[in-house]
Amino acid sequence: MAAAPSRILLKLSGEAFKGPEGAFSPIALERIAGEIAPISSGIAIVVGAGNIVRGARSDLLDRVEADTLGMLATVLNALALRTYLEARDRDVFVQSAVSTELTDPVSPRDARRALDQGAVVIFAGGTGSPLVTTDTAAALRAVSVGADLLAKASNVDGLYDRDPACDPAARLLRQVSFDEFLSARYGVMDQVAVEICREHHLPIEIFDFEKTGALRQLAEGRRVGTRIGA
Instruction: Please list the rounded mean pLDDT of every run of 10 residues in the chain (230 residues).
Output: 89 94 93 96 94 68 87 96 98 97 97 97 96 96 98 93 84 96 92 97 97 96 93
Note the pLDDT of residue 228: 97
192/198 Cα distance (integer angstroms): 10
Contacts of 15 (CB under 8 A, 6+ apart): 48, 50, 51, 155
* pTM (predicted TM-score): 0.94
- Which CATH fold topology does 7-228 show? Carbamate kinase (3.40.1160)
Handedness of CA 4, 9, 13, 18 (dihedral sign): positive
Note the pLDDT of residue 125: 97
Shortest CA distance to 49 belongs to which of 68, 78, 70, 20?
70
Residue 221: C-alpha distances to residues 7, 95, 132, 148, 215 (Å): 11, 27, 30, 11, 10
Convert 137-152 into a string of H (helix), E (strand) and C (coil).
Answer: HHHHHHHHCCCCEEEE
Note the pLDDT of residue 1: 64
Note the pLDDT of residue 164: 81
Contact between 10 and 85 under an 8 Å Cβ cutoff? The reply is no
Note the pLDDT of residue 184: 93
Task: Give the chain's length.
Answer: 230
Note the pLDDT of residue 210: 94
Note the pLDDT of residue 31: 97
Handedness of CA 112, 38, 1, 201 (dihedral sign): negative
Q: Could you count the other beta carbons within 10 Å of the beta carbon of residue 163?
A: 10
Note the pLDDT of residue 97: 97
Note the pLDDT of residue 95: 98
Note the pLDDT of residue 162: 85
User: What is the Cα Rg of the chain in Å?
Assistant: 17
Residue 83: C-alpha distances to residues 35, 79, 144, 168 (Å): 15, 6, 25, 40
Contacts of 103 (CB under 8 A, 6+ apart): 75, 78, 79, 94, 95, 96, 124, 125
